[in-house]
């Protein structure tokens, strides 16, 4: 009997034992993988070797969160959350930190947790994972994340679909909203998605092409304005998304915005909602009805819960050519102007801080 035949015979005799062992070991391996991610142990690997792509917001935000956790801020932290519009509106964390520190004579540190098309559920998960204590959380908002992010997009964060962050507060909040148990207790689907569909895909691609798998995260990735026709297409696409937005979408996002306020306050944060850059010239009057509904909604939320709402963007005159499209700034001058108004806008938080109220 050769070795292969002997192995096959042995496998058949012990197949039940092998199957039982496999069934016991597989869940253990999966649990270990999730623990490695949820605990942040995977950050022993430098971020550039994990990103796969320089635009990988989701891994970057998750990675930065676990870098922050064991190193709680010693200075006044200002956390930036929201979508890519606010990410592109800020020159850099260091630049904004310097401007805030100079203006209010308080040592501050800015932490960027904005990501592409960030939903309110993802923002809530970020806040749930932040270390508690005095701090400011800026939530970048617009009609896209308040009116365009539907139930499926928000619920996807329960399984870590984009951000590799587990949030019991999000799960409990959605339980209360739905009036029924939400069944996702693991973010393994998100971990597998990130590994296979995002980071893994680019890592394998670069390896096969004999390129370096080490890439640096890119904060700004827009460098030129779209053509007139491209912007026209963008407006039509946005109108199409918002036209099918149901009342349920708005209700869910309003509910999550209130959960953000409640959770933030319980952790010692001052929550500030900030309207992100919008290309008024590029959009024209085509979304006026949507804008009125959106701004009224935000005023109602922030008035009822007594939180700061900065809507200065509607008074700013930013040229069409300083936008890549409808929401992303591309010039340093425009970013500086936005940052200047942002620093002015958050003054009430620092006034409370000086009085010991924050």
* d(C-alpha 109, C-alpha 98), whole Å: 8
Q: Are 344 and 337 in contact (CB under 8 A)?
A: no
CATH of domain 75-183+219-354: 3.40.50.1110
pLDDT at 267: 95
Q: Is the pTM higher than 0.85?
A: yes
DSSP conformation letters of 105-157: T--EEEEE---TT--HHHHHHHHHHSPPSSEEEEEEE-HIIIII--HHHHHGG
Angle, vertex CA 164, rays to CA 273 and CA 197, nearest 5: 115
Token code pair at residue 20: 């039982």
Token code pair at residue 44: 């022993």
Q: Within the chain, which residues score under 70 in pLDDT?
A: 1-26, 180-185, 197-200, 210, 241-246, 355-358
Secondary structure letter of residue 274 according to DSSP: E
**Quick one: how far is CA 45 from the chain centroid?**
22
pLDDT at 20: 52
pLDDT at 245: 59
Domain positions in the chain are 1-38, 75-183+219-354
pLDDT at 342: 97
Query: What would the pLDDT profile of 236-261 be if each residue is shown by its tens digit?
Result: 777 776 665 568 888 999 999 999 99
What are residue 253's phi and psi, to 5 degrees? -70, -35
Which single residue is written with the structure tokens 């260091």? 94
Please state at what angle helix 93-104 crosses helix 332-345, rounded to 10 degrees: 40
Please state at what angle helix 288-304 crosses helix 247-266, rounded to 10 degrees: 30
Query: What would the pLDDT profile of 293-312 be if each residue is shown by its tens digit?
Result: 888 999 999 999 999 999 99
Q: Are 198 and 58 in contact (CB under 8 A)?
A: yes
Query: What would the pLDDT profile of 152-191 be if each residue is shown by its tens digit?
Result: 899 999 988 899 999 999 999 999 998 766 666 688 888 8
Strand, helix or coil at 308?
Answer: strand
pLDDT at 199: 64
pLDDT at 306: 93
Neighbouring CB atoms inside 10 A of 77's CB total 21
Whose CA is closest to 260, among 248, 250, 272? 272
Whose CA is closest to 73, among 28, 133, 128? 133
């Amino acid at each position: 009997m050769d070795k292969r035949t002997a192995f096959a015979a042995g496998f058949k005799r012990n197949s039940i034992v092998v199957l039982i062992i496999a069934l016991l070991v597989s869940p253990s391996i999966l649990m270990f993988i999730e623990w490695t991610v949820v605990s942040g142990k995977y950050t022993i690997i430098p971020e550039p070797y994990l990103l796969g792509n320089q635009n990988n917001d989701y891994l970057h935000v998750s990675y930065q969160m676990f870098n922050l956790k064991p190193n709680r801020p010693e200075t006044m932290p200002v956390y930036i959350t929201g979508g890519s519009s606010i990410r592109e509106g800020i020159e850099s964390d260091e630049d904004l930190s310097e401007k805030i520190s100079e203006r209010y004579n308080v040592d501050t540190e800015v932490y960027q947790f904005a990501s592409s098309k960030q939903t309110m559920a993802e923002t809530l998960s970020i806040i749930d994972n932040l270390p508690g204590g005095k701090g400011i959380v800026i939530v970048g908002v617009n009609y896209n994340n308040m009116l365009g992010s539907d139930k499926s997009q928000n619920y996807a964060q329960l399984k870590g679909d984009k951000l590799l962050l587990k949030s019991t507060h999000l799960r409990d909040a959605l339980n209360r909203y739905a009036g029924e148990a939400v069944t996702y207790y693991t973010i393994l689907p998100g971990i597998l998605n990130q590994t296979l569909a995002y980071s893994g895909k680019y890592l394998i691609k670069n390896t096969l092409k004999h390129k370096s798998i080490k890439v640096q995260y890119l904060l700004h990735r827009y460098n030129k304005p779209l053509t007139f026709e491209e912007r026209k297409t963008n407006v039509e696409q946005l109108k199409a998304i918002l036209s099918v937005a149901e009342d349920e979408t708005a209700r869910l996002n309003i509910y999550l915005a209130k959960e953000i306020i409640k959770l933030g306050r319980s952790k010692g944060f001052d929550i500030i909602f900030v309207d992100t850059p919008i290309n008024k010239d590029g959009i024209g009057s085509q979304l006026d009805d949507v804008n009125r509904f959106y701004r009224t909604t935000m005023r109602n939320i922030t008035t009822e819960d007594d939180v700061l709402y900065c809507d200065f963007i509607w008074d700013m005159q930013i040229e069409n050519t300083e936008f890549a499209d409808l929401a992303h700034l591309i010039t340093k001058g425009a970013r500086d102007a936005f940052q200047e108004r942002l620093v002015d806008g958050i003054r009430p938080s620092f006034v409370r801080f000086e009085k010991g109220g924050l």
